[in-house]
Chains A and B, each alone.
Chain A
């Protein structure tokens, strides 16, 4: 029994715990037993975990909670009392937060068990999980390739079957891009819907906690458990979160935008074909295609790498060797303490972004860079708002390419930044986005598409995501479908 539990969806696993057929302890350990050890040693998705903490978590489970007994891996930038929180940076080596992030508190209150911390690019700055002080995570479908980033660990863990659900964070695509590379669902919610309290800040006006899962229904279940106002996050929305319980009701009568100019050039033909197949599936299920032109993604990338780095240079000023984390042993005065601690503790990509952000905010350059980027952000927001007067959601690529090779883009930061060209706009506009897996290419690598909608359109995105999960087959939409089809794992 234990041996097949790891294949279950979170919904199915929680149902077995509700009925008393499976204990939370067994449910939580299912993914960690047997061949998972070999998978984990190859993939390296997890940076902090231990059996004692998992067992203690399982014993405390509310057995009737919506996520009863469901093991969840969370990105290493979400504060947890029971595991270190290091953002995979030397500067936070050994740090333990004195409190749980709000999303962690809500996970636990829903019956889920936090089983450990997932690998990531240092401080969420990267698109490949190669910039981690613990070493890279590898793509479970091809160990020579990256899982995407920055939430590569949580994405890969769901893909190879360690856990059915994981949490990441998405500042410019850090949930949706690795979800695409690893062949799983990845939701970046509307800005302000999931609390940022206890999420280590990178770009505060862009950061949003996101959800990975293998099934659209599991994303909906987890979103429902986590979303809603939080008095500890001044940017959380005060109104109730949208109701996503109708995720299995199809797309009859909905209109989807088709901005084909975005993939006219520079997108892998495998992904263009995935878009065509997905559009056909949505049409079979009763949705209507609305073609239009949309603002090219390059502008978003340009604005983003000023706004995000400016905010990062300010947010990361707190890491100075005084209150937590690494402290340089070699400092004669307090100024040297700051400089030496930060130079020793931050990796090259983080330093590069702090420098860029400091430059954009510095005297004489503020108007030319930061101010202009904020104006461009307004322009981009308007473009989305206009598009959503014509359709209920947009269909577009999640990434320009399939998973790339380790080392392929590390020497060229700009090339790495451009791998987020289709995801960044949603962060600038504060709108939700969902990556939907569409199968494996001839190379055996996952392909995916992305859905974007206006603020609070999570219910629509999940209905469309579920429709694509069943390939437009309306008879399989039901959550009670007896056979939950299997995702293409290599484990």
Chain B
């Protein structure tokens, strides 16, 4: 399976990344070579193999317990590049309808 530049652009859009036009061919070739290698999985007999998502847990997930540790709003927003009154600030999400 090989990936072309158009496909690279499509995946980059999904991943919220911008690949410079001059790099797309190189990225496409690198991803293609990995996918070609990954195709070796086709040689394995996987009949009857259920998918493993996690290494087997010895017990089902435990019930949640109340947490005595508290992250204050001050601490939670302390590392934000921009915040105001403990809210994270972002650029406009919708167009300004009332300029």
Contacts and interface: CB of A to CB of B under 8 A. Distances in A.
A371 B51 contact: yes
Given A205-B53, A356-B31, A302 B40 contact: yes
B88 A413 contact: no
Interface in A360-390: 362, 368-369, 371-379, 381-382
B52 A381 contact: yes
B12 interface: yes
A43 to B, nearest CB: 30
A351 B17 contact: yes
A323 B77 CA distance: 7
A352 B31 contact: yes
A96 B78 CA distance: 9
A374 B53 contact: yes
A372 B69 CA distance: 41
Interface string A311-342: 00100010011111111000111111111101
A242 B61 CA distance: 20
Residue of B1, B38, B53, B57 with most chain A CB atoms under a 10 A cut-off? B38
Interface residues of A, number: 70
Contact of A372 (B41, B75, B79, B81): B41
A430 interface: yes
A378 B56 CA distance: 10
B93 A375 contact: no
Nearest to A239: B58
A338 B16 contact: yes
Contacts, number: 166
Interface string B55-99: 111110110010001010001111111100000101111000000
A190 to B, nearest CB: 8
Contacts of A321: 81
B55 A355 contact: no
B74 to A, nearest CB: 9
B34 A417 contact: yes
Contacts of B8: 355
Nearest to A335: B16
B21 interface: no
Main secondary structure of the interface of B (DSSP, over half): loop
Given A303-B41, A376-B44, A96 B17 contact: no
A267 interface: no
Nearest to A206: B55
A414 B33 contact: yes
A346 B38 contact: no
B18 A237 contact: no
Interface string B27-52: 10011011001111101111001111
Contact of B92 (A99, A334, A362, A375): A334
Contact of A325 (B55, B59, B81): B81
A346 B18 CA distance: 11
Given A237-B57, A325-B79, A417-B34, 8 more contacts: A99-B71, A237-B59, A298-B40, A305-B38, A306-B38, A333-B92, A342-B15, A355-B19
* 9 nearest CB pairs, A to B: A430-B55, A374-B51, A327-B81, A324-B79, A191-B55, A375-B49, A378-B49, A377-B52, A358-B15
5 contacts: A305-B34, A327-B82, A333-B92, A355-B11, A414-B30
Interface of B: 1, 3, 7-8, 11-12, 14-19, 27, 30-31, 33-34, 37-41, 43-46, 49-59, 61-62, 65, 69, 71, 75-82, 88, 90-93
